[in-house]
Amino acid sequence: MTTYEKRQLELIQRISAKAQKRPLLGSGLWFHGDVRDNFYYAAYLFAASVNPDARVPFEKEMTLASSSQMLLKVLRLQDTDPASPTYGHWPLRLDPVPKEAKPDPLPVELMGSLMVYFYRDHQEYMSPPLQAAFEAAFEHIYRSRFFAKEIGHFNHHEAKYTAAKLIFGNLFRDYELVEDGHRSLVRMLRHVRENGMAEYGALPWFWHWVQAFTAAWELVDDVDINRDLGDMLDFLWHERSLYYLKGAWVGPHSRAWPHDVPRDANPLFDYVQFGDFPLPEETPRTEFAGFLFYEAPEDVRRNALDRKLPMEVTKYSVLSGDAENGGPKKVHKYAYITENYAVGGAWERVREFDNEQHRWDVSLPLSNSGSVNQAYFLRPGEGFTEVDPRHESDIGEVLFHRNVVVALYPTPEGEDDRIVGVLPKGEWLQEERALYGRIGRVYLAVHLMRPYQVQELADRYAVESRGGANGVVVEAIGAAEAERLCIGSLEEFAAIQRGNDPSFAEDGSKAAYRSLDQEELELTIAPGGKPEARVGGEPISFGKYSA
């Protein structure tokens, strides 16, 4: 058994044990919030029940029967009326009565393809009624033609449509559909190579790309198509490796969900592929990490795992947009990654769907400490709440340089002037306009333009600062770097940082800071709103800061 297979078996054992313990609702299902969770958990329980290597705390014969019944319940929620506009679909939300829930276009996109993959590997253990139910579901999916859409946005939906064309075309020997899927695949691969991924770090949707194309790679038996699928998967895992640090996704996040900010909590595919961090206790998105696997190329794995030498990543992605909204936009991404921490974000503020862009943070490796692993500040915007500190306003400019972030928030007079921050649990010293912390092998200095208040929560420190236009400078340094500077304690780190306060313009239009490596950093916002970033007196010529 390979190390990958061992980690997948570990997932199957853990998730199946959780499924077996889950109480049934009155409907006989485990979940009403998302129909897909019932399928995923039942698949793990079924797989554990038939796998002789699985060491589980339950009677396998009984759970094989119960998981089979759960799979049947899910399959029977499909809309099987050919005259229905939602033919072939499943409902997403199931309350109050699952059988009466309205079908939704989302579940079949990924779940349909994963069902084919699961059936291929487990049909021999299924009862005749369950086999018949799966095969009927595939027939309805195929005839629904939900995937028969033109490619144009190059997002996770179209990635799943493309994979479904290949999978269901292959399953039903519809070679025109397979050819259509191949053309879509080639277009998508060319687009992301030339324009980057518009969903830069979008979780869980990045993993939907990976799962959809891995399932197609497993199920489609065509040399040319498999070569292109392999190229797509190599591209995806290379992209992941650029922003990877021991389970964390560093740099900017597009479409960030609460389970990924301020703590990365969707790392199961990372765990199987890289395995250099502890398996988390909570798994909010199980999906098919325990089943699907595509081994990343050796150089990609080396990029992700070997962080002994610091690395800077500078890339861009083109976001599609219509002419009315200014047309396509470029988002320039930055990350500075060391073996103990990473700093990075997006130079451009973009108001994405549900205002979910996560602009910047300092990321720490994942651990089972119970603490968040991201440190960041923002000015709250539409959708922000204290329990969901993700959504930010359009006001704010940033400068990234290696281990330092400089951020300005020139809030106009009369508007809400709060900026809020999230800091990981650790050892912290608090002063009037600064916080100095040590979290594991990382020191953090946080310099604020205004006084602040701190509230200690179970998994983080919540910071709030008011009083007008504002700004913050955050500098991170690893313990080994600190030792080279003769810093051996948090008190010594704070003593050096106290004499290194940044200077801020009162209206929030300028910040200047000298980093620990003696770099002079300056961020200025001109009266017209255009920012200018300088390092060592020289302007940064990148993205929106280009002349």
278 φ, ψ (degrees, to nearest 5): -70, 140
455 φ, ψ (degrees, to nearest 5): -120, 125
Q: So what's the pLDDT on residue 529?
A: 81
Q: b or e along 122-151 (b: 16 or more beta carbons within 10 Å of the residue's beta carbon)?
A: beeebeeebeebbeebbebbbebebbeeeb
Burial of 76 (0-12, 13-18, 19+ CB in 10 A): middle
Compute how many other C-beta atoms are within 10 angstroms of the C-beta atom of residue 230: 14
CA distances to 60, 114, 162 from 46, in Å: 9, 14, 28
Q: What's the pLDDT tens digit per position in 114-171?
A: 999 999 999 999 999 999 999 999 999 999 999 999 999 999 999 999 999 999 999 9
Whose CA is closest to 420, among 383, 384, 462? 462
Report d(CA 10, CA 134) in Å as an integer.
27
Q: So what's the pLDDT on residue 516?
A: 95
Residue with tokens 């919030």: 33
Percent of the chain with pLDDT over 90: 91
Q: What's the pLDDT tens digit per position in 410-446?
A: 999 889 999 999 999 999 999 999 999 999 999 999 9
Residue 326 has pLDDT above 80, yes or no: no
Quick one: pLDDT band at residue 324, thresholds 50, 70, 90?
very low
Q: So what's the pLDDT on residue 546?
A: 55
- Residue 340: DSSP 8-state: S
Residue 460 has pLDDT above 50, yes or no: yes
Between 80 and 541, the higher pLDDT residue? 80
Residue 322 has pLDDT above 60, yes or no: no
Q: What's the pLDDT tens digit per position in 345-381?
A: 999 999 888 999 999 999 999 999 999 999 999 999 9
CA distances to 217, 380, 416 from 419, in Å: 46, 7, 9
Between 527 and 71, the higher pLDDT residue? 71
What SS3 class is residue 394?
coil
CB 266 within 8 A of CB 260: yes
**H helices, E strands: number in the chain:** 13, 23
Whose CA is closest to 475, among 403, 528, 418, 408? 403
Residue with tokens 């072939």: 88
Whose CA is closest to 138, among 207, 226, 75, 196? 75
Chain-centroid distance of CA 460 in Å reads: 20
What SS3 class is residue 445?
strand
Q: So what's the pLDDT on residue 547?
A: 41
Q: So what's the pLDDT on residue 321?
A: 62
The mean of the pLDDT values for the chain is: 95
Percent of the chain with pLDDT over 70: 97
Report angle CA 235, 239, 242 to the nearest 5 degrees.
140
What SS3 class is residue 528?
coil
Q: What's the pLDDT tens digit per position in 491-539?
A: 999 999 998 899 999 999 999 999 999 999 999 999 888 899 999 999 9
